[in-house]
Amino acid sequence: MTGAQLDESTTVLAPAAGSSWPARIGLQVGALVVVVGLWALAADRGWVSERILPPPLDVWRSFWNLLTDGILFDHLGVTLWEVFAGFVLGSAGGFLIAVAGSLWVPFRRVIYPYMVALQVTPRVAIAPLLFIWLGFGAFPKIVLAATICFFPVMINTLTGLTIVDEESDELFRSLGATRRQRFFRLALPGAMPVIFAGLKTAISLALIGAIVGEFVSAQEGLGLLIQRFSFQLNSSAAYAVLLTLTAIGLALYGLMELIDRWVVFWNRDERLAKRSERAAARNARAKAAVARPQRISDQ
């Protein structure tokens, strides 16, 4: 078979093999209950200071207040916009440059060292400069998120597009395929699993970029909120925002995972089974539709 076979192994949330899902969910929820229980106990007995570890119930109350005030949603909206725009911008840029590099070797040779230089420079360090260049709105945060997203998508796309199976390429050439056909029918679909691994890394990095951008300078956003609560030593509210960020991170990652499952269906047995069954059923229906009028005319 062709292309990269990076698949479930790149998934951080891969379920443990060999257990049924109710048992798995049970264990996972059980672990959460134990951790929260220990946390409540530690806070209750005063093993740790409330500043460091506020009781779970206080965190919940802060969360509820932030939610009902509408404060959380306002800031959440801003941060999500920065994450989304930064992710789209950075990924699209990384993807397009990788495609150009895969099709045109001199270009790849020229840009590659610069891309690596960009990657090894801590992007967080350019955050203060971004505000000199771009001012104080959402835009510098979007740009920061985009520069961080850029590299994993670029490098994965370039890798995926350049590791085309040699025999498959020979097959395409022997069939008289054009360069365009070889790209769209062989290289690009073959690269999809690797590209998605890059996109999944990028979406988490976009969140980091947006939050760091807000730390440096912001009027709104969850990063600002968490910073403000920390300065106020309001640790239960800071925890509430932090857990909100975890939830957002999980949701974004889950969304990418879902799109991945939908696009790269050929690496998932259950998706394949469904597709082949549907195609067979469609074929049977088409056959029946052709056969029926004949039968009538026979009589």
Partner 1 sequence: MSIDDRAGPEVPPTPGDDHAEACVAARNVGKRFGSVVAIENATFTIPNRHFTAVLGPSGCGKSTLLRLIAGLVPHEGELDVKGQPVSGPRPDVGLMFQHPTLLPWRSALENVLLPTVIRGRVTDRDREQAMQYLSLVGLEGFEFSYPRQLSGGMQQRTSLARLLMTGAQVLLLDEPFGALDEFTRERLNLELVRIHEEIEATTLFVTHNITEAVFLADEILVMTPRPGRLAGVVQVPFERPRGIELQRTTAFTDIVFDVREMLGAAL
Where do contacts with partner 1 occur on this chain (CB under 8 A)?
A: 1-3, 165, 167-168, 170-177, 181, 185-186, 189-190, 265-267, 269, 272-273, 275-277, 279-280, 283
- As measured in angstroms, the least distance from the Cβ of 141 to partner 1 is 37
Q: How far is the CB of 265 from partner 1 (least distance, A)?
A: 7
CB of 181 to partner 1, least distance (A): 6
Cβ distance to partner 1 smaller for residue 126 or 177: 177
| Residue among 139 and 266 whose Cβ is closer to partner 1 | 266
Residue number, 251 or 273, with CB nearest to partner 1: 273
Name the residue nearer to partner 1 (CB basis): 103 or 273: 273
Name the residue nearer to partner 1 (CB basis): 60 or 266.
266
| Minimum distance, C-beta of residue 178 to partner 1, in the bound complex (Å) | 8
Q: Which residues contact 57 (CB under 8 A, 6 or more apart)?
A: 40
Shortest Å, Cβ 293 to partner 1:
16
Tokens of 191: 């690269």
User: What is the closest distance, in whole angstroms, from the C-beta atom of residue 170 to partner 1 in the complex?
Assistant: 6
Residue 97's contacts (CB-CB under 8 Å, 6 or more residues apart) are 111, 115, 154
Tell me the C-alpha distance between 182 and 164, whole Å: 10
Tokens of 201: 């890394």
Indicate the residue among 51 and 275 with the shorter CB distance to partner 1.
275
